[in-house]
Amino acid sequence: MAAIIRTLFWAVFVLPWVSNVFSSRVPKCSESKRKMLSYDVRKLIYEEISKRVPKRPKYSCYLEEDAALLIYDPDSIRPDIGQGEKELSYKGRWRSSFIEDVVKRWTLTLKEMRRLQKIGCFYKAPKRRRGTAELACIFRLRVLQVGK
């Protein structure tokens, strides 16, 4: 009887909690001045990138807003761009697998990001499923302190 109760406890309380803690590091970002990504698109981008980096990063809504700037105002200079940030973007013909294809294209670069801490991405798709799509991501890497 005790074994059944213990099993039920694990199934009902512990496993769902562990699943929530480890499965999703993707927040629901609040709407900003720019268009907002849907949670599902944000999660898809995060999962595709997480498959290809050495360590799963945290997702940053703040970096997502900056990535939107790369798409909507590419000539603007982000005043807060810091040392240890890397930007990747791609613009091309839309297709249903656009996000997966672009992230796959970035694989070699992503695998080299050993000190990756946070990411934020923005995706712009054409309204009628024809035309040009764009994906931009900003990656924040841990900066090594020299002499400490």
pLDDT digits (tens, 9 = 90+) for 46-75: 999 999 999 999 999 999 999 998 999 887
In a domain, 48, yes or no: yes
If one counts the domains in the chain, the total is: 1
Tell me how far apart the alpha carbons of residues 59 and 27 are, in angstroms, rounded to a whole number: 7
User: Whole domain around residue 134: which residue ranges?
Assistant: 34-141
In a domain, 147, yes or no: no
In a domain, 16, yes or no: no
Q: Which residues contact 126 (CB under 8 A, 6 or more apart)?
A: 94, 132, 133
In a domain, 79, yes or no: yes
In a domain, 27, yes or no: no
CATH number at residue 68: 3.40.33.10
pTM of whole model > 0.75?
A: yes
In a domain, 19, yes or no: no
